[in-house]
Each structure stands twice: as structure tokens, then as C-alpha cells.
């Protein structure tokens, strides 16, 4: 598909593009996706740059000098990327915004603040969707706004923020439309391709990625793939950029991911920011109050289970892959009661894969995924 080729070109050129703009005075603000309102960064005139690389065991090894091993794999990998100095994207930001969503992310921030040689904005995330939690988050992003204004040297005007909100709404809508094409019985777009464009939406330029996404929709609209494959719902704590091991093995085994729910890695694009009234409150409304579904570390995670059931039915999934990064305890605890309920309510198999980005996992994953796909085929 041409659009996908254009996406890869854009990603390849992105580092140099940012470097050039940085040399001309632009500021770069890195962020961990999920709870960071990119709209604010974009409106400030700084370049928003999502940092969500993963899947690499060398990054885990590099983190061990700074952090103990009983921390979420993704967070350890982030320490590795920053500290090894080998990943070009991680060397670009003037400021990094990291949502302190749970103890794992707090640990990541603690390490970077002490030895990261980078300025970190600690974005405190409440763990509920109540009014007081939303108010708190709105105050936090108010502080972020001030920080960004200080960084770029100019205030963030409402019209700029309004424009940014509309741009990101368009991108979410395009990604949502693209994702929905996988409701077709024989989707053309693979799960890995959808994950890739999601990742690009954090790293790439918002307008370019939206255009590519729209082109991709046009390319796949009305078309059907050749074969009807087992359809998989992927639940993942973090689906990091370039961590495509599970997708690759699933696709080699003849299955396809048709829907994914992740805490970090794919956009929550079912809800848009309502660009009305106080715009920071509008962001708070989208990122906390209407966050769909809430992550498992929100208490209580109301509606989370129902969301998964609804999507599994809408997308007619045949099985669930529960992809957990080691030591992300919120997903691990939830797994126990969700797996029982999901298997009972949907009557489909669920396989649990746990990763520490270790190369040796591949063979085990392959065996388990192949058996899982065979069992789905056997049921059909």
C-alpha cells in the first residue's frame, strides 16, 4: 500500500526533520503517550515527540545500573534508551513530559530526574474519573501550559489551542475510521499495520500522519482481504513502537489482530475533545472523565470490562491475546478475574503472554500462539 510506504518514509525522515527545525530554534517536547495532552505541546509551537520505543532487550540491560529489575518492562526500557544515548529520538527533547500514572512511571521519572540529564515534567495523574480528579488534572495541565510557555517564550493563545484540538480530533477520527475497517470479515489492514500508524501518530507530524491515514482509508475502503482469518482482540499494558513480536507471530500463524486495547501505544480515539468552554477543562474531560476505557489502575475501573466485551462482539473476535509486560502489576491482577469472566461471557479462548523484551521469548511465544490459533481454527 502506497500510504504505508509514505508513512515509513515520513518516519525515516523524522529525526533529521526535527533536528533541522531544532537547529533553527524550535523546541522539542518529548512525552510518554496515554495521558499527555499533546494538543498543548502542539499549540505552544514546540514539536511534540512521543517516546514509546520498546521490544529491545539491550535497553533493559542498559537500565540495570540505575533501576532495579522489579519494575515494568516498558519503564525500564525507557531508562535504557535515555541513558545509553544510542536511540536518536531520545536525544532530541528539550523537555520530557511523563505522566506519573503508577509506581512504575514514578520510578522512571525518579531515575531520569536524578541522572537523566534531561528536564522532566512530572505530570501527576489521578486514579479515578470523579470531578475532583478531573479538576486536579486540569490544574496539572495548567502547570504544564505554564512550563511550555516558559520553554518557548510565548503564551499559548486559546485560538492556537483550539486549532490543535481540532487537528488532533481529526487525527483520532481518521485512526478510528481506519481501525473500524477491520470490522470487515476479511480486513485488508493488518493489526501490525494499524499499530504502526498509531505509533507514527505519536512520533510523526500530526497533519502528515492524518493525511497518510486518510489515504490509507481510501486505499482499503470497500476492499476485502483474500482469506478469512481467526480474529484476535489484543489487550496489552503497553504496545511499544517496534515491539511487534506478537503481531508477527500471530500473522505468521494465520491470525489477525482486529482490535486492541492498550494503556500506552494505541490512541484512545473513540472520544474526541469537545472544543468548547474552557479548553483545559475540555482536555481534562477527554483525558480523564471520559477516558474510554479507564486503565486497570483507575479505581474502580468502571466500564472497562463492558468495553472489552462490547468491542469483542462488535469486531466478532475469535480469541483474546493478553500481552502483559512483566511487573505491570495492574494488568496482571486484573487478568485473574477478567480472564474468567471473558471466557465465560464470550466463550472464546484467551492466551496470556508475558514479556520482558527478551530474545528467548520468541520461541515460547511462537509455540503458544500457534497452539492458540489452532484451537481457534478447531472451534470454527
Rule CB under 8 A: which residues touch other proteins?
Answer: 64-68, 70-71, 100, 102-104, 106-107, 109-111, 113-115, 121-128, 132-133, 136, 139-140, 143-144, 147, 296-297, 299-301, 326-327, 329-330, 332-337
Question: In Å, how far are 71, 73, 92, 93, 97 from 86, measured between CA atoms?
Answer: 22, 18, 12, 14, 20
- Cα separation, 44 vs 147, in Å, equals 10
Nearer to other proteins by Cβ, of 75 and 239: the residue is 75
Closer of 20 and 139 to other proteins (Cβ): 139
Q: What's the Cα-to-Cα distance from 105 to each of 73, 109, 160, rounded to whole Å? A: 11, 6, 30
Q: Whose Cβ is closer to other proteins: residue 221's or residue 341's?
A: 341
Nearer to other proteins (CB atom), residue 104 or residue 256: 104
Report the C-alpha gap between 219 and 234 in whole angstroms: 24
Give kind and range of the element (H or E) at residue 62.
helix 57-63
What's the min distance (Å) between Cβ of 241 and other proteins?
23
Q: What distance in Å separates the CA atoms of residue 79 and residue 367, rounded to the nearest whole number? A: 31
| Residue 2 or 139 with smaller CB distance to other proteins | 139
Nearer of residues 5 and 113 to other proteins, judged by Cβ? 113
- Whether 141 contacts 284, CB under 8 Å: yes
Nearer to other proteins, 228 or 333 (CB): 333
Shortest approach of other proteins to residue 130 CB, angstroms? Answer: 8
Neighbours of 91 (CB within 10 A): 15
Closest approach, Cβ 296 to other proteins, in A, equals 7
Measured CA to CA, the distance from residue 198 to residue 171 in angstroms comes to: 10
Rounded to whole angstroms, the Cα distance separating 368 from 377 reads 14
The residue among 109 and 240 lying less far from other proteins, judged by its C-beta, is: 109
| Residue 283 burial class via C-beta count within 10 angstroms: exposed 0-12, middle 13-18, buried 19 and up | buried
Closest approach, Cβ 318 to other proteins, in A, equals 26
* CB neighbour class for 213 (10 Å; exposed up to 12, middle 13-18, buried from 19): buried
Cβ 313 to other proteins, closest distance in Å? Answer: 22
The Cα–Cα gap between 315 and 180 comes to 9
Q: How far is the CB of 364 from other proteins (least distance, A)?
A: 15
CB of 43 to other proteins, least distance (A): 19
Q: Following DSSP, what letter does each residue of 2-29 receive, concatenated? A: HHHHHHHHHHHHHHHHHHHHHHTT--EE
For 275, the grid coordinates are 472544543
Quote helix, strand, coil % in the chain, to nearest 5.
55, 15, 30
Question: How far, in Å, CA of 299 to CA of 362, rounded?
Answer: 34
Closest CB 149 distance from other proteins, rounded Å: 14
Q: Which is nearer to other proteins, 143 or 359 (CB)?
A: 143
Closest contact distance (angstroms) between CB of 305 and other proteins is 10
Amino acid at each position: 500500500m502506497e500510504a504505508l510506504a509514505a508513512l515509513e518514509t515520513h518516519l525515516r525522515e523524522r529525526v533529521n526533520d526535527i533536528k533541522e527545525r531544532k537547529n533553527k530554534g524550535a523546541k522539542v517536547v518529548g512525552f510518554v503517550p496515554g495521558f499527555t495532552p499533546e494538543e498543548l505541546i502542539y499549540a505552544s509551537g514546540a514539536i511534540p515527540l512521543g517516546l514509546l520505543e520498546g521490544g529491545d532487550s539491550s535497553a533493559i540491560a542498559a537500565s540495570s545500573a540505575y533501576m532495579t529489575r522489579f519494575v515494568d518492562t516498558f519503564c525500564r526500557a525507557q531508562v535504557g534508551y535515555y541513558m545509553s544515548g544510542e536511540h536518536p529520538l531520545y536525544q532530541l527533547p528539550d523537555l520530557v513530559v511523563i505522566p506519573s500514572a503508577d509506581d512504575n512511571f514514578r520510578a522512571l521519572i525518579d531515575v531520569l530526574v536524578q541522572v537523566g540529564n534531561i528536564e522532566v515534567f512530572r505530570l501527576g495523574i489521578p486514579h479515578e474519573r470523579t470531578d475532583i480528579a478531573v479538576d486536579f488534572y486540569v490544574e496539572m495541565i495548567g502547570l504544564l501550559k505554564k512550563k511550555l510557555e516558559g520553554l518557548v517564550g510565548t503564551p499559548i493563545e486559546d485560538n492556537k489551542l483550539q486549532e490543535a484540538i481540532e487537528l488532533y480530533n481529526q487525527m483520532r477520527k481518521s485512526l478510528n475510521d481506519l481501525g473500524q475497517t477491520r470490522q470487515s470479515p476479511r480486513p485488508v489492514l493488518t493489526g501490525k499495520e494499524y499499530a504502526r500508524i498509531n505509533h507514527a501518530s505519536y512520533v510523526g507530524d500530526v497533519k502528515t500522519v492524518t493525511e497518510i491515514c486518510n489515504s490509507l482509508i481510501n486505499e482499503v475502503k470497500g476492499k476485502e482481504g483474500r482469506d478469512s482469518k481467526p480474529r484476535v482482540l489484543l489487550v496489552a499494558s503497553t504496545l511499544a513502537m517496534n515491539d511487534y513480536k506478537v503481531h508477527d507471530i500471530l500473522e505468521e500463524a494465520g491470525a489477525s489482530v482486529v482490535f486492541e486495547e492498550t494503556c500506552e501505544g494505541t490512541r484512545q480515539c473513540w472520544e474526541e475533545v469537545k472544543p468548547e468552554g474552557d479548553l483545559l477543562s475540555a482536555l481534562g474531560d477527554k483525558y480523564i472523565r471520559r477516558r474510554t476505557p479507564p486503565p486497570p489502575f483507575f479505581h474502580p475501573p468502571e466500564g472497562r470490562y463492558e468495553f472489552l466485551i462490547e468491542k469483542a462482539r462488535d469486531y466478532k473476535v475469535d480469541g483474546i491475546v493478553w500481552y502483559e509486560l512483566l511487573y505491570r502489576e495492574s494488568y496482571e491482577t486484573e487478568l485473574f478475574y477478567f480472564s474468567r469472566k471473558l471466557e465465560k461471557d464470550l466463550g472464546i479462548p484467551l492466551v496470556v503472554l508475558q514479556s520482558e523484551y527478551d530474545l528467548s521469548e520468541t520461541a515460547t511465544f511462537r509455540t503458544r500462539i500457534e497452539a492458540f490459533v489452532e484451537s481457534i481454527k478447531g472451534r470454527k
